[in-house]
Structure 1
Amino acid sequence: MDKGMRREIHLVALTMTGLGSIIGSGWLFGAWKAAKVAGPAAMVAWILGMAVILLIGLTYAELGPMFPRSGGMVRYAHYSHGSFVGFLSGWANWIAIASVIPIEAEASIQYMSSWPWHWAQWTHHLYVNKTLTPPGLLLAAILVFIYFLLNYWTVKLFARANTAITVFKFIIPALTVIGLIAAHFDTHNFTQYGGFAPNGWASVLTAIATSGVIFAFNGFQSPINLAGEARNPSRNVPLAVIGSVLLAGVIYLFLQAAFIGSMPGNLLSHGWASINLKSPFADLALALNVNWLAIVLFLDAFVSPSGTGITYTATTARMVHGMEANGYFPKVFGRIHPRYGVPRAAMWLNLVIAYIFMLMFRGWGELAGVISVATLISYVTGPIAVMAFRNMGDHVKRPVRIPGMSVIAPIAFIFASLILYWAQWPLTGEVIIVIIIGLPVYFYYTAKAGWRGFSEHFRRGLWLIVYLLWMALVSFLGSGKFGGIGVLPYGWDMVVVAVSALVFYIWGVRSGFPKPNFPEGENPQLVDAE
């Protein structure tokens, strides 16, 4: 266990942490965004997205109990392949997850800007032309600081607050589904207005990556990042990951079906792509004269995103703590408060990063796709790492051994690569460049350490940098349906991605160390995980 951290989070709280991260602003906006891109076929996008995340989550469900450390998502690749892969993976994950905190606050303010009451007309000026105004940004900044304070004194306060909020999150989506279907539900919406897939099946695939589907499920990693503070992590971490993904998947499917079926025909006269709603579910409730539901949704627009914001404030601090343990950040960010058991310096760093992202991206839609792509880049190391550890034999203790992992891991890697491609050029290339830009930080700390072991770590991590550059090239040359220049025709482009992904998977697994590469003086497997 991480020195100074306390194992106080039980299975229910851990599962609620994952579910609380998944059911955030994604449910308030995801159904609308996915329907705009894919029409009624958005239902398929949610099913495919859930299946892929579950496959990826299973690889991390085995890794989490193996190394029950806080901030585990940024540690595993370092243990299996060394500092080069570990840094790229951790950097991508940290950038993606840290930017979720301001997005959740922005989502709350965006919903607030649609308040219909006469006395609240001033709120209409908080979000204008798809961006938050200065007053809107100020309110969002205050919300982020509240998330910060709820995590500042104790992990137990965070766990209790999040569990209470997550129970509320179950109730509100259920009321939304029931309220909308009771008010109006037209099954013809699933076949009229361009058919079930009005923009073609390529749009369904793109919706997975850019419409909030992958973004919504990102929260599965929260129980993993809190493994160092979980009771009985070998049992509870896998159960929390699988349980939170499945429960959230069911909720999202019902919400998407209710959104599609209850949409009034006059709003669909120009097709699904023409639907422009400021506060999607609340605006829909008002259009159907379900005013009580609109009021509940405006209230929940603070509760659901705030629950996720509180959770990510906790987990990102543990990620920075993990990055410091790997040698990528100054030691001050690894210090745990002796009384409260939380990494306060890391929390302050993430607060600053959150405010920077808030100034750069002033609306929910701007960052959802970016976060999804960046997180996918970090996810691809999970399937590689879990099989690399299996190749280490008795050098690694495996409290959990998930059946069929030799099949699950390559399939997870291939589908993660496909979703990365479906995100469309130039977004794929832009995010890959942002990840690579972080390398000077790695080289600085490597040089500070005297380049000790650099050549070995670089050789074992070469597959990842070549993979990223290859994915950017394929995205550029790919089908016009995914934003490319059309050198690779539609259909064959995905064959190229899948086949090449399998090659990189084999290369990546074989590049792992023969035994775990723990930082000097560290061996998390020697610590009593109970």
Structure 2
Amino acid sequence: MHILKRSNHKHFIGKEARNLTSVQNKSSKMSAFSLTMLAIGSIIGAGMFLGVGLTIKLAGPSIILAYALMGILMYFNLSFLADLSLLDPEKGSFQTYASKAFGTGVGFVIGWLYWISGILVMSSEATAAAIFSALWFPGIPLWAFMLIYSVVLTVVNLADPRWFGKLESGLAIIKVIALIGFILLGIVLAFFPLLGTAPGWHNVTNTPFFAHGISGFAGSLLLVFYAFSGTSVVGLAISESSDPEKTVPKVVLSTSGIVTFFYVISVLFLLLLHPWTTYNASTSPYVSALLPYKIPIVQSLMNFVILTATLSAMSASMYGTSRMLNALAQQNEAPNFFNKVTPKAVPRRALLFTNAFLIAIAFLSYIIPNKIYLLVTGASGLLSLVNVLTISLAHWRLRQKLLEKRQDYKTHVLGYPTSNFIVTAIFVGVFFSAFAIPDQRASFFLGLSLIAVTAGVYFSVRHKLGAKSQWPISTAEHHEIPTTENSLHTLKHLAQETEKRISEGLRPKNRS
């Protein structure tokens, strides 16, 4: 996620740049369909397939409203990011806009929080994958599965990364097909007594909508938000889309609509099939909802699809997070040790260092196996919330100034700037709601501590970074501030910067 400092350009006129030129012409512009599939694949992961059990337990039937609300907020968040990316396509990432809007310090903190959040996302996905695997092998401990999956996916990521694009698109389609299949099966089981008594609407109407009151509803919002995280990939991939000013607004609307529809409708059928009190985080609700019906193969097939989707999301996070660390090193905002890439354009050192933290998380899963998923998911959600808040506020601050340079720009964001303030206020409320829920306080303090430590590190090293006190500064002062590019296109961008915008290179996919 970066753009090189000018003083560092010459560093890449050598082995790394030459290694990249062999794959310069491998990618093509993305259609609206491809970009939508990329976004959907990045969003739908363990946060939905496993985390929904926790959210139902917290909120009861009102969880339907929580997913609908977050879907609307997701639309605005995507709109803000897409608008900035269209107005300033050369700079393309939320870290860049954070630096431009609020100073180098915020950009530094956002970049490192992205890396830390990426580790937590990988840990969350690894934990979920281990829980899904336990359905078949209940005797194997959680930490063993986490270690196995971490090692295997590390080896996969050390290989040539060019196949990631097609793999992620294909797996995104599998996720969508799995959810469609569950919804269709849910219609049959809920309303047609083919395999026993059809519950109809009884399980929803026979209990209070706000089963645990407003506090339970509010407590679910952070975990629901986590299920929608990864939306930033749309903004990051805009430079890869064809005719972006026409394509991207459609993608924003279609992505928000499709994901929200699948989430709300599939959760509705979870509630229809069984009382909300039967769900928890010990297994995927999408599997446990089908177990009583004893339909041959369906449970195992659904579990396999979910496991595959989770490992896919984990691998994509592994890809992007390691490249973020490599990008920070190229900006002199991380140790130079992580600067290098292999002949196949893999930041091996950054990857191995990043993935080493998964071992620590696996150790935690041995100590607190029943709490690890909520801990890492909640903390990751809080850090992702910081990124979302940054996008909303940066869009509010930068849009008018960027419009002065784009008189031909016709796209507009619904309700700007009022929508920015409303979205920001709601997300701030979600952030602090984590503290109000006893089970989420550990995640809240962990996330808050990581933010404070990262900010403290910046103030400790800012003189070494060559950045004077610029937090915040006006947007007019940002013309010389080194910015960052998204992790999806880091390696291609190095070649482009070095050889004056060479033809397109890598286009891997990620869950940001």
TM-score normalised over the length of structure 1: 0.75
The correspondence of residues 472-487 of structure 1 with structure 2, limited to 5 A, is: none
Residue 30 of structure 2: which of 1, 6, 10 is its match?
10
Higher RCO (C-alpha under 8 Å, 6+ residues apart): 2
Match in the other structure for 1:376: 385
CA distance in 1, matches of 2:266, 2:257: 14
How far apart are 1:215 and its partner, in Å? 0.9
2:412 is aligned with 1:402: yes
Return closer, same or farther for 1:319/1:244 CA change in 2, 3 Å cut-off: farther
Identity %, equivalent residues: 19
SS at match of 1:291: coil
Equivalent pairs, count: 451
SS at match of 1:47: helix
Match in the other structure for 2:356: 352
2:171 is aligned with 1:165: yes
Match in the other structure for 2:151: 142
Could you report, residue by residue, the CA deviation over 1:143-180 in whole angstroms, capped at 9, with x for unpaired residues? 4325524xx4234x111001111111111111122223
Could you report, residue by residue, the CA deviation over 1:443-496 in whole angstroms, capped at 9, with x for unpaired residues? 34423245x422xx13x1xxxxxxxxxxxxxxxxxxxxxxxxxxxxxxxxxxxx
Unaligned runs of 5+ in 1: 116-122, 461-510
Match in the other structure for 2:232: 221
Residue 211 of structure 2: which of 198, 201, 221 is its match?
198
CA RMSD of aligned residues (A): 3.4
Match in the other structure for 1:112: 133
Return closer, same or farther for 1:275/1:223 CA change in 2, 3 Å cut-off: closer
CA distance in 2, matches of 1:393, 1:71: 13
Q: For the Cα contact (< 8 Å) 1:108–1:302, is it kept in 2?
A: yes
Unaligned runs of 5+ in 2: 5-16, 191-198, 486-492, 505-512
How far apart are 1:110 and its partner, in Å? 0.7
Q: For the Cα contact (< 8 Å) 2:322–2:351, is it kept in 1?
A: yes
Match in the other structure for 1:514: 476
TM-score normalised over the length of structure 2: 0.78
Q: For the Cα contact (< 8 Å) 1:93–1:374, is it kept in 2?
A: yes
Q: For the Cα contact (< 8 Å) 2:462–2:468, is it kept in 1?
A: no
Match in the other structure for 2:161: 154
Q: For the Cα contact (< 8 Å) 1:31–1:259, is it kept in 2?
A: no
CA distance in 2, matches of 1:50, 1:76: 23
The correspondence of residues 421-432 of structure 1 with structure 2, limited to 5 A, is: 421-425=432-436, 426=441, 427-432=443-448
The correspondence of residues 304-315 of structure 1 with structure 2, limited to 5 A, is: 304-315=309-320
The correspondence of residues 250-399 of structure 1 with structure 2, limited to 5 A, is: 250-263=261-274, 268=275, 272=277, 277-324=282-329, 326-331=331-336, 333=338, 335=340, 340-341=344-345, 343-361=347-365, 363-393=372-402
The correspondence of residues 98-109 of structure 1 with structure 2, limited to 5 A, is: 98-109=119-130
Match in the other structure for 2:454: 438
How far apart are 1:291 and its partner, in Å? 3.3
Return closer, same or farther for 1:385/1:274 CA change in 2, 3 Å cut-off: closer
SS at match of 1:126: coil
Match in the other structure for 1:174: 180
Q: For the Cα contact (< 8 Å) 1:75–1:326, is it kept in 2?
A: no
Q: For the Cα contact (< 8 Å) 1:32–1:259, is it kept in 2?
A: no
Could you report, residue by residue, the CA deviation over 1:395-450 in whole angstroms, capped at 9, with x for unpaired residues? 75596742343222222211111111222343434422221112343234423245
Residue 69 of structure 2: which of 48, 56, 77 is its match?
48
Match in the other structure for 2:55: 34
Q: For the Cα contact (< 8 Å) 1:103–1:358, is it kept in 2?
A: no
Aligned partner letter, 1:516: H
Residue 76 of structure 1: which of 97, 103, 113 is its match?
97
CA distance in 2, matches of 1:260, 1:522: 43
CA distance in 2, matches of 1:328, 1:67: 23
